[in-house]
Amino acid sequence: MSANDIATVVNQTITQYLSESGEQQKKRPCSGKSFTFRSPAITVTGAYCVSQLGDTLLELGATHVLLVADKLVHQLGLVSGCEQSITLAGIGLTLFTEVEGEPDTVIINQGIKVLKQSKADFVVGIGGGSALDAAKGMAVMIDHQGPLADLKIGGIASRKVGLGCIPTTAGTGSETTDITVIQDLEYGIKVPVKGPALVPDFALLDPVLMLGVPDHVTAATGIDTLTHAIEAYVSRETNPLSKAYAYHAIETVIKSLPVAVGCGDDLDMRYEMSIAAYKAGIAFSNAGLGLTHAIAHQIGAQYHIPHGVANAILLPYVMAFNALTCEKGYAELAVAMGIKVESMTQRESCNAVIQMVRSLVQDLGLPNSLTVYNINTGDLPQLAERAMLDICLIGNPRQVTATQIVVLLNRVLANDFPEGYC
Ligand SMILES: NC(=O)c1ccc[n+]([C@@H]2O[C@H](COP(=O)([O-])OP(=O)(O)OC[C@H]3O[C@@H](n4cnc5c(N)ncnc54)[C@H](O)[C@@H]3O)[C@@H](O)[C@H]2O)c1
Ligand SMILES: [Fe+2]
């Protein structure tokens, strides 16, 4: 076949492909699954890199910034470096420091009001996942009003203001993800809103800002990172790039999180964890999550359980449930976790990985059951129904019913960890 003949065949095939429906396209035999991969355009890392904030904003064309900060983080003086760097760069600044706890529709609307008054062309969030999600919510919802449920379904593709994130916990990875999680006060649920416009234009990871995070927050947010990486690795929507990021995030969490919890002033471990959170964020933003997050969003909203703690309690149970369909995927993670796999069967490696996650949660002093949270068993069917509607469930490797979620939650309540896969 001549080069021209090959070009003709290729063109015909592409024309045919473009004329097919999405379903038909998916059924085509293909040696490489297609996927789109997104991350912030600029990532700045390292101790004291907050001093580069002004230059980064100038590079992105900002003229006036709305700085959205966690209230406590502001009180601790952790925002002053950002303020100085922005002012030194000759960029206008408006401060919004009212974010306390996980964001809801009220705080988003308050921020949008300030954003409109300030005429800022850039929103920068600084704080844990709560402040970052608040900033992200304001930046996109100023142009996309409407019930959260509609935004969740439609996905948000456009944004008129710039967006940057500076995490002070390691963490959620919100600084890199295409998600913001907002509490819908009307329905008492947490709604993950997703879309390309939610990926920040820049992420700035300065571990110095994380040195004073209390040990229980370091532990909970670190397990959130681990959950992102494990769920992304075995997600139905995973891809080779997400798997690579997730694998290395897991390796780092196992090595660095215990030291970061036990020795909060260890700058190297804070740095390692800031990168791990970012990697796990990139992994799941492009690959999806799973059942742990689908349930954690519901019990977190209903019983005010911090997000990382909810994940810590649920993750081992969900892994035992999912292992039926992703034993191989979990087993692959054994090496990343430093488990000696020689002479182990796949099932033994998988079990060792689940056991390692349980031990880590226990070592870090996090709860491993829901007993302390006064959960009413009568609430479980409704919580399960809500989890079934959470967009994170799409990535879960095993199919699941509301009845199975109730059984799983009853096990967690009774501290009854299963022996096999169920
Ligand atoms: N957008 C995403 O991709 C994504 C992913 C996972 C979770 N989330 C959401 O993020 C939120 C949780 O974020 P989080 O776990 O980072 O907790 P958080 O932001 O609520 O912070 C936890 C606590 O730590 C304090 N804190 C933060 N930084 C500190 C510092 N440097 N020194 C001392 N104290 C500090 C805060 O004031 C707060 O009291 C939840 O709403 C969760 O649903 C979002
Ligand atoms: Fe999370």
Token output for 307: 């997000």
Do residues 299 and 305 touch, judged by C-beta distance below 8 A?
Answer: yes
What are 84-97's pLDDT values in tens digits?
999 999 999 999 99
Q: How would residue 2 be classed by pLDDT, with cut points 50, 70 and 90?
A: confident
Determine if ligand 1 sits within 6 Å of the CB of residue 286: no
Q: How would residue 155 be classed by pLDDT, with cut points 50, 70 and 90?
A: confident
Determine if ligand 1 sits within 6 Å of the CB of residue 274: no
Determine if ligand 1 sits within 6 Å of the CB of residue 231: no
Determine if ligand 1 sits within 6 Å of the CB of residue 335: no
Determine if ligand 1 sits within 6 Å of the CB of residue 189: no
What pLDDT, on the 0 to 100 scale, is given for residue 104? 93
What pLDDT, on the 0 to 100 scale, is given for residue 8? 84
* Cα of 285 from ligand 2 centre, angstroms: 11
Token output for 115: 């954003």
Determine if ligand 1 sits within 6 Å of the CB of residue 341: no
| Mean pLDDT, residues 199-206 taken together | 98
- The rounded distance, in Å, linking the Cα atoms of 416 and 413 is 8
Do residues 358 and 316 touch, judged by C-beta distance below 8 A?
Answer: yes
Q: In the chain, what are the domain boundaries?
A: 42-210, 215-413
* Cα of 131 from ligand 2 centre, angstroms: 14
3-state secondary structure at position 64: strand
Of the residues 76, 174, 205, 273, which should be mutated to test ligand 1's pocket, given the most ligand atoms within 8 Å of the CB?
A: 174
Do residues 136 and 175 touch, judged by C-beta distance below 8 A?
Answer: no
What CATH code is assigned to 42-210?
3.40.50.1970
Measured in Å, how far apart are the chain's first and last C-alpha atoms?
Answer: 55
Determine if ligand 1 sits within 6 Å of the CB of residue 127: yes
Determine if ligand 1 sits within 6 Å of the CB of residue 192: no
- The rounded distance, in Å, linking the Cα atoms of 46 and 316 is 33
Determine if ligand 1 sits within 6 Å of the CB of residue 104: no
Of the residues 76, 206, 213, 217, which should be mutated to test ligand 1's pocket, given the most ligand atoms within 8 Å of the CB?
A: 217
Determine if ligand 1 sits within 6 Å of the CB of residue 237: no
* Cα of 217 from ligand 2 centre, angstroms: 13
- The rounded distance, in Å, linking the Cα atoms of 268 and 228 is 22
- The rounded distance, in Å, linking the Cα atoms of 6 and 360 is 56
List residues bridging with 44 in a β-sheet: 204
List residues bridging with 127 in a β-sheet: 167
Nearest by Cα to 247 from 287, 304, 191? 287
Residue nearest to atom 41 of ligand 1 (CA): 102
CB atoms closer than 10 angstroms to residue 6: 10
What pLDDT, on the 0 to 100 scale, is given for residue 274? 98
Decide yes or no: CATH 1.20.1090.10 for domain 215-413.
yes
Q: What is the DSSP letter of 104?
A: B
Of the residues 75, 97, 165, 172, which should be mutated to test ligand 1's pocket, given the most ligand atoms within 8 Å of the CB?
A: 172
Do residues 318 and 204 touch, judged by C-beta distance below 8 A?
Answer: no
| Mean pLDDT, residues 348-363 taken together | 98
Measuring CA to CA, how many Å separate 145 from each of 89, 108, 137, 149? Answer: 33, 11, 11, 11
Q: What is the DSSP letter of 97?
A: E
List residues bridging with 166 in a β-sheet: 126
What pLDDT, on the 0 to 100 scale, is given for residue 204? 98
Judge whether residue 24 has pLDDT over 80.
no
What pLDDT, on the 0 to 100 scale, is given for residue 21? 78
What are 57-68's pLDDT values in tens digits?
999 999 999 999
**For all residues of the chain together, what is the average pLDDT?**
94
For the CA of 103, the closest atom of ligand 1 is: 41
Token output for 208: 């110095």
Determine if ligand 1 sits within 6 Å of the CB of residue 168: yes
| Mean pLDDT, residues 189-214 taken together | 95
What pLDDT, on the 0 to 100 scale, is given for residue 6? 82
Give me the residue label for tokens 């944004």: 159
For the CA of 133, the closest atom of ligand 1 is: 1
Judge whether residue 28 has pLDDT over 90.
no
Measured from the alpha carbon of residue 286, the closest ligand is: 1
* Cα of 6 from ligand 2 centre, angstroms: 48
3-state secondary structure at position 124: strand
Q: How would residue 29 be classed by pLDDT, with cut points 50, 70 and 90?
A: low
What are 369-411's pLDDT values in tens digits?
888 888 989 999 999 999 999 999 999 999 999 999 999 999 9
* Cα of 317 from ligand 1 centre, angstroms: 24
* Cα of 345 from ligand 1 centre, angstroms: 39
Could you list which residues have their CB under 5 Å from ion ligand 2?
224
CB atoms closer than 10 angstroms to residue 56: 21
| Mean pLDDT, residues 164-190 taken together | 92
